[in-house]
């Protein structure tokens, strides 16, 4: 079994920063990629940032220039540094872990609320 746990969410004001963490544990042989997704009330879940095993990254347009995704492969951990937060960033943030054979595991999510 693979467990995925996020942390770091909270209530902040516009302009503040947060760093989210996600750690995968269990019987993991290899992780191909890890990413962050978010879902706001009444909206579909969307990709925020992705980092592959090779280190390549991909960001949503709304995240470029403000968010940075990084990883620690030895710890099976991915981070999302979020700067200059605005109210449109308010959502539940979910971590996705893609393992060998392209099987995905999801965390329970961590809530980010940005007030004006």
Q: How does pLDDT run across 88-110, given as a tens digit for each residue?
A: 999 999 999 999 888 999 999 99
Secondary structure (H, E, C), 18-70: EEEEEEEEECCCCEEEEEEEEECCCCCCEEEEEEECCCCEEECCCCCCCEEEE
Render the burial of 13-22: b for 16+ CB within 10 Å, e for the rest.
eeeeebebbb
Structure tokens at 1: 């079994």
Structure tokens at 115: 């007030």
Q: What is the pLDDT of residue 14?
A: 98
Q: What is the pLDDT of residue 29?
A: 85
Model pLDDT for residues 39-76, shown as the tens digit of each residue: 999 999 999 999 998 999 999 999 999 999 999 989 99
DSSP class of 14: T
């Amino acid at each position: 079994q693979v467990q995925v746990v996020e942390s770091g969410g909270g209530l902040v004001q516009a302009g503040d920063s947060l760093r989210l963490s996600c750690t995968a544990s269990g019987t993991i042989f290899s992780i191909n990629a890890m990413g962050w997704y978010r879902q706001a009330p009444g909206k579909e879940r969307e990709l925020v940032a992705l980092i592959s095993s090779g280190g390549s990254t991909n960001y949503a347009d709304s995240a470029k220039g403000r968010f940075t995704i990084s990883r620690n492969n030895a710890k099976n951990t991915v981070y999302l540094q979020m700067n200059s937060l605005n109210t449109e960033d308010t959502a539940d943030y979910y971590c996705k872990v893609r393992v060998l054979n392209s099987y995905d595991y999801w965390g329970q999510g961590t809530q980010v609320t940005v007030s004006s």
